[in-house]
Structure 1
Amino acid sequence: MASEHKARVASGHKASMVLDRAYVLSEIDSRIYGSFIEHMGRAVYGGIYEPGHASADADGFRGDVADMVRELRVPLVRYPGGNFVSGYNWEDGIGPKDSRPRRLDLAWRALETNQVGTNEFMQWAKNVNAEVMMAVNLGTRDLDAARNIIEYCNHPGGTYWSDLRKAHGYSDPHNIKLWCLGNEMDGPWQIGQKTADEYGRTASEAAKAMKWVDPSIELVACGSSFRAMPTFPQWEATVLDHTYEHVDYISLHTYYGNPDNDIANYLGRTLDMDEFIRTVISTCDYIKAKKRSKKTINLSFDEWNIWFHTLESDKVIEPWQIAPPQLEDVYTFEDAVVVGLMLITLLKHADRVKIACLAQLVNVIAPIMTENGGPAWRQTIFYPFLHASLYGRGMALRTVVSSPVYDSKDFTDVPYLESTAVWNEENGELTIFAVNRDTVNPLQLDCDLRSFEDYSLAEHLVLESDDLKACNTAANPYRVVPHNRGEAEMSGGRLTVALPKVSWNVIRFKKAAKQ
C-alpha cells in the first residue's frame, strides 16, 4: 500500500495542470480505440457467434454482444489472430459451411471448425460499425497466400479469387484497407518463428505483392512480441531495414499484471509502456535517418491489456476441444484503473501511435463476457475504454503537469497524477482523463483552463471502489460502475477537482452556446 513505498513530496496531495488550446500534440486517429478477435477460446464461438442463442440473428451472431460492441464504438477489429493466424489457411473459412474442414489449431491446442471465416466476420464487423484489420499467415504460408487473400477480399471481379468471392455470395469487394504481416514472428511459441532477417525479407516481398494487387492498403510489420524480448529493439531495426519503404506501421504488444499483489508497483507499470513506445519511435526514426527517407513509420499498438489471472489455470486445459474457455480473466477494479492508465499513455503518444487494439473484445481477456446460452455483461475494464472511446476523439493536447511522486519496487518517480486532455473543437468539447495512483489519499488537482474560458464544466465521471479486488460477474454485473458525482468546481477559468484514492476520472467541459 502507499505506506510501503516512499512518498517524494511530504507537503501533501496536490497536483496542477495547465491546458492551452495552442498546445496541440496531434489529431487522434480513431483507430486507437480498436480491439481484437482471435480464433481462440470463446472469443468467436460462444462470444460473438452462438447460433441458437436467444439474441442470435439469422447468421448466428449474438445480438447482446453486438449491442455492447456498438456501445464501445470500436472503429477497428483485428482478425483472425494472434498466434492462431500463423497456422491458419484462410481458404478453410470460405465457401459452404458444411464442406469446411476441421483443423487442429496448434497455437491454442484446440479444434477449429471454421464455421466463422473471412466473409462471416466481415459481415459481423459491418453490423457493429467496425472496419477490419486483417492478418495474413507468414508462419506456415508465404506471399502467395497473402496476395491471394487480398485478391479475394479487395479485387472487384474478373479474376479467379474475386469471382470465387462472388460465387460465395459477396458480389461487392470487402475493401479491407489495413493488414498485418503475420504475428509475433520473433516468438519461439510462434508457428514458423523467424529471425529478424528471415522475417524482414518475407514481409518485404509479401508487402510488395499485396500492394501490387491493391495499392490503397496499409501494412503493419511485426515488431517485437514484447519489450523484454532479448532481441528488442534490434529486431525492429533489422525488420524496418528490410521493409521500410513497403510498410506503414510497426506493431507493439504488451500485457501487464499484478501477480505479486503489489498495487503501488502495478499502478506504475505504464512507465514501462511509455518507455517501450519511446524506444520504438527512436528505432523507427533511426532507420528513417539511415535510409535518408522522407517517410515516417508510425506505431500500431495492436495488442495491449491486463493478462495474468488465468496463466496457471490455462496450463491444464484438455487439448483439442472446440472453443474451450481460455484466458477468461475476471477483471478487478484495480485492473480497470491500470487499463485507464494505459489508455492515457496511448493518448499521450497520439502523434505516433495511430492504431491500438485492446486484446481482446469478448470472453478472452476481454471487456465483455458471456455465458453460453446465457447473459452477457460488462467487465470492470469496459468503462475506462468506453469513456476514452466516447470522449477521447479530437486533438490530443500537450499538458503541463506537476505532481507529487513515489517509488515502487520496479519504478522511480511514479507520479500520483497521470493525466491527459482531448479537445474536440468541432463538437465544442474538452475532456480531461485523470488517474490518482495514491492508494490511501485523495488528490487535489488544480487546473488552469483560462485558454478555454468559453467552456463550462459539464460532468465529472468517476470509477472508484473501496475494494481493489471488486469485479463484475453474471450474478452481480453492476458491482463496479462509474458515477457522475465527482467533486469538481470551475471558477474564473480555473478548475479544482478532488480525485478519489485509486480512481479513474473523466472531467468533461462543453463550450457555451453563443448568445
Structure 2
Amino acid sequence: MKKRLFALLILLPSLLPAQEATIKINIERNIGEIDPGIYGVFMEPIQFNGRRFGLPDSVQFNTLYGTLYDPASPLADENGFKKNYIEAMRELKITNMRWPGGNFLMGYNWQDGIGDRSQRPARINLAWGGIDNNHVGTDEWFALNKAIGSENVVCVNLGLGDIKDAVYWLEYCNYPKGTYYSDLRAKNGHKEPYNVKIWDLGNEVDGYPWELGYKTAEDYVKIGREAAKAMKSVDSTIKLVAAGSSWYEPTGIWIDWNRKVLEGLGDKIDYLSIHRYWERSDDYYNYIGQSAMDFEEKITIPAAQIETARVKNGIKKPIYITVDEWGLMSRNTLSVLPVAQCFNSFLRHADVVKMANFTLLTSLLANDNKKGTFKTPLFYIFRAFSNNCRGTSVDTDVYCDKFNTPKFNDIPYLDVTTTWSKETNTVYINVVNRHKEKAIAAGIVPVTGSFTGKAEASLIAGASLNEVYEYDKQDQYVPVKKVFDAKGKQFTYTFPPHSFTQIKAGVMLK
C-alpha cells in the first residue's frame, strides 16, 4: 500500500509547478517512419549453473529447455512451448524473433535439428556448455513464431559451418519443391515453404576470443560475398545482414571492422548488425547516463559509416541498422531506465534503425522457481513502446539541466522522444528523468498546433533504486495512470526522479 501511494503521489502534476525544463515537439519535422521490426526478440539456448542464481552449482538452468520449451509442462502447447511466454509475446506485439543464436549458432549444425525428435543427435553446446538434444530445431522455431505471430530472422553459421550449410538451410526453408532439401521439408510435414526474408551472415564474427570460427574483417568479407552470391541463387528476394563489430575495445578497432565490412560487403547486404549490452557500473550516473551515451554512440558512428560507404562505393540502395542483440543484466528498479533509453535511441534514429532484438525472449518475464513467471516493470516498459510507439518519430528538442560523467559531458537529465500518428492526431511523449533525486517540471510545447482536451500519463517508477522484483509484489509493477487537462498551446508536467513516463495527448496542427 505504501509503494502504491508513493506512485500515485509522484504521478500527480503539480498545480502550479515552477518550470525547470522545456520540451519542444516539432511534428512537421519527421525523423523517419518507425519500423515495427524494432520490437523484436532474440533467442538461443544458453546453459547456466545455479551459482548465477544463488543456487548450488549442481543446479542447471537453460534459457530454452525447461524454461520456454517443456513438453511435459501443463503450460505447454501442442508444440511443447509454454503458453505463458507465448501469450506474453502476443501482448507485447513482438514482430520478429532472431534465432538460433547468438554464440550457440556458430557451432550449430541445423541438420541435427530436423526430422523425428527421437532420432536427433545430442550435441555438446560448444558455446555455452551442457548438452543440446536438438529437440528444438528449424521446424519448432517456425512453430513458435507462428504461435507468437512474429516473423523469423535466421542466422546462418559462418563460424564452424560453411557456405554450403547456409545454402542448404535456405533451400530447406524457402525453396518450393523438387530439390532434396525442399522435399525433405515436405517429408517432415511442412509442404509449403517458410519464405524467411531476413538472414544473418554469422554472429559476432569479430568476437575474439569468445566466438567460434572468429575471422578477420578481410576473411569475413570473402566468405560473406560468396555466401551472399550462393544464397541469392536460391532465393533472390531475401535480405542479408552483415555482422558489425561486437568487440568494443577502447582502441577503436570496432570502427575499423565496420568500415572494412561495409566497403567489402556493402553492395551485397541490406542491414549492418549492432550488438550492445548496457554497460554495468556501481555509480548511478555512469550507469544511467554514461551507458546511455555509449549506446547512442554505437548507433551514430555506424550510421555515419554506412553513408560514407554508400557514397564512396556508389551503392544506390539503402543499408539499415539492426540492433539484433541488446539488453541488460540487472533485474531491479534500475532496469526500467536503460530499457526506455534504448527504445528512445531507436526512435531517435528511426531513419536508419529498422530492426532490433531484445535479449532474450525469456528475459521479458521474471521467473520465480517455485511460483512461476510474472511481469515486471521491464515488461511494461517494452509494452509501452511496442504497443503505442508506431507511426512517425518526430523531432523533439529538450532544454534542461545537464550532468557530466568521466567519458561524456553535457548529458541532459531528461531523455525524450515523441511519436506521431497522423491517423489519430495523437502523440506519445516518452520521458526518462535520469535525475537520481530530483523531480523535474517541464513545459511541453508543440511547435505548430495545440494540444486538444485530456491527456493520459503512464508512470513506471520504484520507491527505491535497487528494489528486486518479487512474484508476490507483481501488482505493484503495473503502470500508474493519470488523466489530466492538457488543452492549449502547452502544459507543464512534473517528472519524478529516476522514472519513465509516457504521455498520450491529442494534437491539432491547424
- Tell me, in whole angstroms, the C-alpha distance in 2 between the residues paired with 1:193 and 1:357: 22
User: What's 1:30 paired with?
Assistant: 36
**TM-score (norm. length: structure 1):** 0.89
Which residue of the other structure, out of 252, 262, 282, is the alignment partner of 2:304? 282
Matched, 1:49 2:37: no
Task: Check conservation: 1:448, 1:493, Cα contact below 8 A.
Answer: yes
Shift in Å at residue 367 of structure 1? 1.7
Aligned to 1:215, what secondary structure does the other structure show? Answer: coil
Match of 1:491 in 2: 487
> Are 2:386 and 1:384 aligned?
no
Which residue of structure 1 lines up, in the alignment, with residue 189 of structure 2? 169
Q: Distance in 2 between matches of 1:356 and 1:464?
A: 25
2:138 is equivalent to residue 138 of structure 1: no
Q: Residue in 1 aligned with 2:14? A: none
| Aligned with residue 249 of structure 1, among 248, 257, 271 | 271
| Structure 1 position 464 matched with structure 2 position 485 | no
| Match status 1:423 vs 2:420 | yes
User: 1:263 aligned to 2:284?
Assistant: yes
Aligned ranges 1:58-457 → 2 under 5 Å: 58-188=78-208, 189-228=210-249, 230=251, 231-260=253-282, 262-268=283-289, 269-307=291-329, 331-362=331-362, 366-370=363-367, 375-449=372-446, 451-453=448-450, 455-457=452-454
> Are the aligned partners of 1:489 and 1:496 in contact in 2 as well (CA < 8 Å)?
no
Structure 1 position 19, deviation (Å): 1.5
SS at match of 2:448: helix
TM-score, normalization by structure 2: 0.89
Unaligned stretches of 5+ residues in structure 2: 1-17, 48-61
Contact 1:46 1:371 (C-alpha < 8 Å) held by counterparts: no
Q: Deviations over 1:262-291 (max 9, x none)?
A: 111111111111122111011112211221
* Superimposed CA distance per residue, residues 104-134 of structure 1 (whole angstroms, 9 cap, x where no aligned partner): 0110012101001110110111111110111
Change (3 A) 1:39 1:51: same
CA distance in structure 2 between the aligned counterparts of 1:456 and 1:386, rounded to whole angstroms: 25
How far did 1:374 drift? 5.2
Q: Which residue is 2:12 aligned to?
A: none
Letter in structure 1 aligned against 2:254? F
Which residue identity lines up with residue 314 of structure 2 in the other structure? R
After TM superposition, give the deviation of residue 56 of structure 1 in Å. 1.1
CA shift digits 1:177-216 (9 cap, x unpaired): 1111100000120000000000111111111111121111
Instruction: Tell me: CA distance 1:101–1:372, structure 2 relative to 1, closer, same or farther (3 Å).
Output: farther
Q: 2-side partners of 1:491 and 1:124: how far apart? A: 45
Contact 2:275 2:325 in 1 (8 A): yes
Percentage of identical aligned residues: 34
Cα distance in 2 between the residues matched to 1:427 and 1:85 = 43
Structure 1 residues 103, 424: CA separation in 2 closer, same or farther (over 3 Å shift)?
Answer: same
Alpha-carbon distance change, 142 to 510 in structure 1, aligned in 2, over 3 angstroms: same
Q: Say whether residues 1:15 and 2:11 are aligned partners.
A: no
Whether contact under 8 Å (1:463, 1:483) holds in the other structure is yes
Distance 1:245 1:386 in 2: 36
Distance 1:395 1:97 in 2: 45
SS at match of 1:125: helix
Letter of the 2:233 partner, please give it. W
Map of 1:494-513 to 2, 5 A cutoff? 494-510=490-506
Amino acid at match of 2:502: V
SS in 2 for 1:163: helix
Q: Is the CA contact 1:53–1:373 (under 8 Å) kept in the aligned structure 2?
A: no
The 1:144–1:373 alpha-carbon spacing in structure 2 relative to 1, beyond 3 Å, is farther
Change (3 A) 1:40 1:436: same
Deviations 1:51-85 (A, max 9, x none): 12122112211111111111111101110000000
Task: Work out the CA distance in 2 between the residues paired with 1:258 and 1:290.
Answer: 37
Contact 1:445 1:498 in 2 (8 A): yes
- Give the drift of 1:259: 3.8
State the Cα distance separating 1:296 from its structure 2 match: 2.5
Shift of 1:495: 2.1
Measured after TM superposition, the shift of residue 412 of structure 1 is 1.2
Distance 2:498 2:403 in 1: 14
Question: RMSD of aligned C-alpha atoms?
Answer: 1.8
> Helix, strand or coil for the counterpart of 1:350?
coil
Do the aligned partners of residues 87 and 502 (structure 1) sit closer, same or farther apart at CA in structure 2, a change above 3 Å counting?
same
2 CA distance for matches of 1:145 and 1:279? 33
Counterpart CA distance in 2 for 1:343 and 1:198 is 34
Contact kept in structure 2, 1:397 and 1:422, CA below 8 Å:
yes
Are the counterparts in 2 of residues 450 and 494 from structure 1 also a CA contact under 8 Å? no
- State the SS of the aligned residue for 1:491: coil
In the TM superposition, what is the alpha-carbon distance from 1:301 to its structure 2 partner? 0.6
Question: Is 1:226–1:254's contact at 8 Å kept on the other side of the alignment?
Answer: no
Q: 1:451 to 1:108 in 2, by over 3 A?
A: same
* Aligned residue identity for 1:287: A
- Cα distance in 2 for partners of 1:169, 1:370 equals 34
SS at 1:411 equivalent: coil
In structure 2, the residue corresponding to 1:282 is in which secondary structure? helix
Supply the distance in 2 between the matched residues of 1:511 and 1:51 (Cα, whole angstroms).
Answer: 50
- Residue 322 of structure 1 is matched in structure 2 by none
The Cα of 1:94 is off from its aligned counterpart by 0.4
Aligned amino acid, residue 34 of structure 1 = G
Measure, in 2, the Cα distance between the counterparts of 1:356 and 1:244: 20
Q: 1:137 to 1:472 in 2, by over 3 A?
A: same
Tell me the distance in 2 between the aligned counterparts of 1:173 and 1:304.
Answer: 30
Deviation at 1:295, TM superposition (A): 2.4
1:226: Cα distance to partner? Answer: 4.3
Residue 319 of structure 1 corresponds to none
Q: How many residues align?
A: 474
- Kept in 2: contact 1:54–1:373 (CA 8 A): no
CA contact (8 A) 1:470 1:480 kept: no
Q: CA deviation at 1:368?
A: 1.4
Matches of 2:184 and 2:284, distance apart in 1? 54
Contact 2:416 2:430 in 1 (8 A): yes
Question: 1:161, 1:275 → 2: CA distance?
Answer: 43
1:8-32 alpha-carbon deviations (Å, 9 max, x no partner): xxxx872112213211110000001
